Chain A
Amino acid sequence: MPLNQDVFFNYPAKASTLPQILLDNVRKYPKDKVAIREKDLGIWQSYSWHHYYENTKKFALGLASLGFQRGDRLSVIGDNRPQLYWAQMAALCLGGIPVPLYQDAIEKELEYIIEHSEAKFIVAEDQEQVDKMLALKEKVSSMQMIIYDDPRGMRHYNQPFIKSFTEVQTLGLNFGKDHPDFFEQEVQKGKGEDTALIAYTSGTTGNPKGVVLTHSNLLTNVRLISKAEEYRDADQVMAYLPMAWIGDSIYSLAMLLDIGFTINCPEAATTVLRDMREIGPTVVFCPPRIWENILATVRVKMEDAAWMKQKMFAFFINVAQRVSTHQLKHQAVPLGLRLLYALGEFLVYGPLRDNLGMRKIRYAYTAGAALGPEVFQFYRSIGVNLKQVYGLTETSALCTYQPDDDVKLETVGIPCPGIEIKIGEGGEVLIKSPGVFQGYYKNPEATSEALKEGWLHTGDAGIIDKDKHVIIIDRAKDVSTLANGTIFAPQFIENKLKFSPYIKEAVILGQGREYVAAMINIDLGTVGNWAERRNIGYTSYADLSQKTEVYDLIFHEVKKVNASLGNEVQLRDAQIKRYLILHKELDPDDAEVTRTRKIRRGFIAQKYADIIDALYSGKEGVNVETKITYEDGRTATIRAFLRIREGETLQEKTK
C-alpha cells in the first residue's frame, strides 16, 4: 500500500503520541529492522517496522470503514499476538482507546469491564475468546463488532457482526483508496494529553477499576526509566505476559515504539521458556511466581541428576551465594573465592543460565508482588542481573528501580529520577510522577481517595531507608497486629514460606488474635515428585495435601521460617504456631486471589471462616466443603477433612 508521501514526510518532528512515534520509526529505521516476531508453525516470523505500520494502517482503515470514531474503546482478548498489538495501535491511530482484557477472566469479570468501559469493538484471538464474547453480546449493549484472528473453527460463524482480522484489513485497503490521507491526518490529530489506555486493575476488594492513562503518562514514564537503565534499540524482549497487565502495555507498546527494540511473541503458553531460550532476550520481566517456579524446577531436576552433578551443583551454588553476599554488602571478595567463582561460572552458572535462556540478559526484573530475598539472591549469585522494581497501574508501571551497582534484596529500589516518593500518614507510600494516572474511569470517589494534593496514595505501607531505598512492607490495610501488640506484615511471612519449593501459596492470619497461624497451599509439581520418590501414592491434589508425610515435610519448612522470624526481636511473637494445608489451590476463578495472584484477604476471611475458627480454637482438624468455579463458570463442591498441626517455634534463649 503506497505511503502518502506528502503527509508522511512533512511530519512535525516532535512526536507526542504513540502513533506519531510509529510513523517516525518507519521513517528512521532501515527496512529490515525487526519490530515484532512471532513463533508460528515452528519458525520465527519477523515483522519489520514497515510491516508493523502497514498492518496497523490497513486494520485502522478497516475499523474506520466499520464506524470506529475518535474516542471509541476497543478491547483485545487473547494471547500475545502481533495482530492484537496492531489492533490496539490501530485504535490509537484513530484517536480511540484500547482496553485490554485478561484472557483467562471469567464471564462475569469480562461483562463488567466491557460494560463499564463501553467497548464497541472486540478483537479476539480465537474461537474460544469469540465464544466468550458471543455469550456476552446480548447482555452488553455497547458491543458492536467481534473481530477474530485465528480462523480455526470459525467456519460456521456467519453473523454479520463477526469478521476476521484479514477481512477488516481488506475493507481497510478499499477505504484507503477512497480516503488517501485519512490515516495520517487522524494520527496527526492526536495529542499527548489524549487518553491512550484504560487499564482495569484486578482489585483485591470489589470491582475492577479502570485506570485512565494518557500518551504523555506512558511516554514520560518510559523515558524516565530508559534514562535510568540504558535500553537500546538492539534489545530483545519477550512479550508473553497478559496484555491486560500494565507492564505489557509499557514494554510491548509504549517502550517498543519509543526505544525501537524488538518484542518476541512465543508460540503458545506451554512453550514460553523454550522460546525464550531460542531468542535469548536481553531484557526480561517476570512476576515473582515465575522466578520461583523456574528455581523450583531447577531444584527438582537437580534431585534427579547424577550424584556427581548434584555435588557440583550444591558446592558451586554455595560458592556463588557467598560471593553474592559479599557483593551485596559492597565488600571485596576474597581471592580464593573469586577463583572458585570463575570455575563455577565455567562449570555450573554459565551452563545453567544458558539452559534457562538467560545467557544474554542485561536486565531482569521482578515486580507485581514481593520476591523472597533468597530466590532473589539465587539468581544474582549465578550471574542474572535480577532487580526488583515497584510501581502500580496508576503510575504507568515502574516508579522505583535498582541501579546495577545498588541492588538490595529487601528493597524495591530508589525512585526513578524525575519521580518523588515520600511516606505519608500511617506509613503509606505516596508518589508524585508525570506517569501518574488521570483518574479512575467513571469513578470520581475512588479517584479523589487516591489522588490528593498532587500525590498518589498507593495504599501500600512502606519505609525509606538510609540509602534512599524504598521498602514495601505490605498493603497498608493488611499490616496486622496480634492481641499482644506485635506488629507484623502477613506478606513478609508468606514470602518466607513461599521460598520453600514445596509451598506454592500461603495465607498468614493473626489480626487481633493470640498467635499467627498459616493456611498453606503445597506445590503439586514438587511435592508430587517428592512423594513419588518415596513411593507415597496419591490420587489428587486434595488427597496429597492431607498425607501425614506431607504434613511432616511442611512442618520442617514452617520450622525454618520460624527460626528466621525468631531471630528478629520484634517478630519473635509472630512465629507460626498452628498451620494447615489447604485441600485446593487458591484460584482467581474462585475470587480468592486476583488475576495477578495477590491474595484477597477479606474474601478469604469470609469464605474460609470455619477453617480459620478451627485454627484458633485448638481443634485437631476441620471438615470443609468448598465451592469451586471452573473456567466456563460451572461450579462444583469439594469435601475434605483438613488436619491442623502445631508449628515448632524458636524459643527465646536465656542468656
Chain B
Amino acid sequence: MMNEKRSHPMLKVEDIHISFGALKALNGVSLEIQKGEILAIIGPNGAGKTTLVNVINGVYHPSQGRIFFGDKDLTTMRPHYIAALGIARTFQNVALFKGMTVLDNILVGRNLGMRSSFFSQGIYWGFSQKEEVRHREAVERVIDWLEIEHIRKTPAGMLPYGLQKRVELGRALAAEPKLLLLDEPMAGMNLEEKEDIARFILDANEELGTTIALIEHDMGVVMDISDRVVVLDFGEKIGQETPEEIRRNEKVIKAYLGTATLK
C-alpha cells in the first residue's frame, strides 16, 4: 500500500522563499505530496505552516521557488485558478458566510463548476435549472456524508464551533478536490468531535480518493491518521518521515516536542 502511494508526486514544492517585511516566513522549503496520501504538517507556532498552505493555495506568491501540481506551474497563479485545478482548503479560523445557511455555504463550494451565466441563473430556466439540481444533489450527498442534515437550513453563524468546522470541511469537499488542504481542522474540539473529524478525513481519503495535507497540533491525531509527517521550524523543513520515524528524530523532538521527551 505504501509503495502504491509513493509513486506519484501530486504536488511538488521546490525551494520556496517568502518574507513579510523583515520576517523570513519560509526559508527554502521543499516537499512533495504523494497522490492518495495523508500528509501532516507540524511545527511550533510561527513555524510557517499556514504560510506554506497559503503559498500553495495562491494567496501569497513566493519571492523564490516554484510549485508544481502535476505538470502545471502554480507559482504565479491566482487562488481561483488553483481551486479550479482541483485544490480546496479550509481555514484556521473558519471562513463561512455567517448569514447564509449551511446548505448555501456548501453550495458555494460548487461555484466553480457552475457554467450558466448570471442572467440565466436569475431566470432559472432550462440549463441553469438542471445544473442547480445537479449541484444540489452533490451538496446533499456531502451533507448526508457528514451527518449534518439536521442543521441544513440553520445560518452558519448560529452553529457551535465544532459544527462550523464540519460545514467548512463540507464546503471544501463539495468542490470534489483532488488535493485537500486542511488548516487545523481539529482546533478547539473535544475528544468526541476530534474522532468524528478524523473519521471523515480518513473516509474522504479512502472512499473518495482525496489526497490530504493537514496542519495539526494534536500529536495523537497526527500519529494515528497520517502516512507521512513534515516538520517545519522557523520557516525551514527539519524533518519529513513516517510518524514512527518522526517520533525518534532528535532534531524534531528538541524543536517541537521538548527535550523532556528525549528518552
Contacts and interface: CB of A to CB of B under 8 A. Distances in A.
Looking at B140, B144, B152, the one whose CB has the most chain A CB atoms below 10 A away is B144
Given A153-B203, A155-B206, A270 B150 contact: yes
A42 B150 CA distance: 10
Nearest to A39: B149
A267 B143 CA distance: 12
Interface in B175-220: 203, 206-207
A271 interface: yes
Nearest to B138: A41
B147 interface: yes
B145 A42 contact: no
B207 A271 contact: no
A155 B206 CA distance: 9
Contacts of B136: 42
Given A153-B203, A155-B207, A271 B150 contact: yes
Pairs A-B, 3 closest by C-beta atoms: A41-B140, A270-B150, A42-B140
Interface of A: 40-43, 152-153, 155, 267-268, 270-271, 274
Given A152-B145, A268-B147, A42 B206 contact: no
Contact of B141 (A41, A268, A270, A274): A41
Nearest to B206: A155
B149 A271 contact: yes
A645 to B, nearest CB: 33
B241 interface: no
Given A41-B137, A41-B144, A268 B149 contact: yes
B229 to A, nearest CB: 25
Given A42-B140, A155-B206, A270 B149 contact: yes
Contacts of B143: 41-42
Contacts of B141: 41
Given A153-B203, A155-B207, A274 B144 contact: no
Contacts of A268: 147, 149-150
Contacts of B137: 41
A414 B196 CA distance: 50
Contacts of B206: 155
A267 B149 contact: yes
Nearest to B145: A152
Chain B facing A: main interface SS: helix
Interface string B45-89: 000000000000000000000000000000000000000000000
A482 B237 CA distance: 77
Given A153-B203, A155-B206, A42 B147 contact: no
Given A40-B144, A267-B149, 14 more contacts: A42-B140, A42-B143, A152-B145, A153-B207, A155-B206, A155-B207, A268-B147, A268-B149, A268-B150, A270-B149, A270-B150, A271-B149, A271-B150, A274-B150
Looking at A41, A43, A155, A267, the one whose CB has the most chain B CB atoms below 10 A away is A41
Contacts of B103: 42
Contacts of A271: 149-150
Contacts of B152: 42
Looking at A42, A152, A153, A271, the one whose CB has the most chain B CB atoms below 10 A away is A42
Looking at B150, B152, B203, the one whose CB has the most chain A CB atoms below 10 A away is B150
Interface string B128-153: 00000000110011011101011010
Nearest to A274: B150
A42 B101 CA distance: 14
B149 A42 contact: yes
A625 B103 CA distance: 46
Nearest to B203: A153
Nearest to A41: B140
B81 to A, nearest CB: 31
Contacts of A40: 144
Nearest to A267: B149
A41 B141 CA distance: 6
A267 B152 CA distance: 12
27 contacts: A40-B144, A41-B137, A41-B140, A41-B141, A41-B143, A41-B144, A42-B103, A42-B136, A42-B140, A42-B143, A42-B149, A42-B152, A43-B140, A152-B145, A152-B207, A153-B203, A153-B207, A155-B206, A155-B207, A267-B149, A268-B147, A268-B149, A268-B150, A270-B149, A270-B150, A271-B149, A271-B150
Contacts of A41: 137, 140-141, 143-144
Contacts of A155: 206-207
Nearest to B207: A155
B13 to A, nearest CB: 31
Contacts of A43: 140
Nearest to B141: A41
Contacts of B140: 41-43
B99 to A, nearest CB: 21
Contacts of A267: 149
B163 to A, nearest CB: 12
A155 B202 CA distance: 13
Contacts of A152: 145, 207
A520 to B, nearest CB: 28
B191 to A, nearest CB: 14
A271 B148 CA distance: 10
A257 B204 CA distance: 41
A153 B199 CA distance: 11
A41 B203 CA distance: 19
Nearest to B140: A41
Contacts of B147: 268
A498 to B, nearest CB: 26
A424 to B, nearest CB: 48
B62 to A, nearest CB: 39
A271 B154 CA distance: 13
Nearest to B144: A41
A19 B140 CA distance: 35
B162 to A, nearest CB: 15
Interface string B102-120: 0100000000000000000
Contacts of B149: 42, 267-268, 270-271
A268 B137 CA distance: 18
B21 to A, nearest CB: 44
Nearest to B153: A274
Interface string B91-105: 000000000000100
Contacts of B150: 268, 270-271, 274
B159 to A, nearest CB: 14
A271 B152 CA distance: 10
A152 B143 CA distance: 13
Nearest to B151: A270
A270 B147 CA distance: 10
A268 B149 CA distance: 8
A274 B206 CA distance: 33
Contacts of B145: 152
A268 B147 CA distance: 9
Contacts of A153: 203, 207
Contacts of A270: 149-150
A302 to B, nearest CB: 20
B210 to A, nearest CB: 15
B42 to A, nearest CB: 28
A271 B149 CA distance: 7
Contacts of B207: 152-153, 155
A43 B103 CA distance: 13
A559 B140 CA distance: 51
A619 to B, nearest CB: 36
A155 B103 CA distance: 28
